[in-house]
Structure 1
Amino acid sequence: MLVPLPGHSAGHAGVAVRDGDGRWLLHAGDAYTRHGEIEHTPPRSHPALDPVQQGAQTDAAARVLTRDRLRGLRRDHADEVTVLSAHDPWEFARLTARAGSQGGGRPGRGGGRCRHWRGVRAAGDAARAASYAGAPR
């Protein structure tokens, strides 16, 4: 399902998929660039990516509102949905490590109850490729 996530760019949207156990995975695309933006209060962005985010945004107020909505979704519905960004290799690593510990083996490699985390691998390949050397975690 496409989820409108305005502010980053015209028509920006996330993609939500439901696994076989009824949990949702929301790939939020470029709505935020680092897990600290939705996990911490106040939000902590990535200093190297701030200029990129601010330069690309089409509507700063809408982008901040979208980020805050994602923060609320994560806070209030963590048992139902996992949110991830396209640009956070640490978030991707944490999610795929969790997949391995849930008995499903490596994400995307079949078996186990790990259907949800297979989606993380597919949705997050771009995040792993976007690894930023020396960036704060």
Structure 2
Amino acid sequence: MDVERTASIVGLVGTVLLAAAVAVPAVVVESGAGPMAAYYASGPFGIAVVGLLALIEVIVLLSGRQERTDPAMAAGLAFVLSLAMLGISATWAFTIDPTVLFSFPEQYSWISNHRWAVLAAAALTVVGTAGYARSVV
């Protein structure tokens, strides 16, 4: 089994899932249905930056896999990015104001579990990029 290839695919899948998970409420929830801006800005950092970092990490992982940049540098950068995304996601998930979290209409009750999906996707990116960094270095 090619560990480098498998780990980079896990990292790529994790980052795409993370970017999608961050974007889902903005796309699915109707604009007048609740305080979406407050939801994304909750916590000390907010969560929108994680979506941006996830898209950057896709580029980093692909450039390392295709050897357009030094694979060891790409693996290290991807791992550091994934740790940052996990830290920001965890901080956001545990510091969301409950009033904001539960202020959405009943049809959007799934949003109370959304933070855990974001956190799980961020953890998947850490696992994938850690394996990729270990196999490259």
Which structure shows the higher helix fraction?
A: 2
TM-score (ref. length: structure 1):
0.33
Higher relative contact order (CA 8 A, sep 6+): 2
TM-score normalized by structure 2? 0.33
- Structure 1 or 2, whichever has the larger Rg, is 2
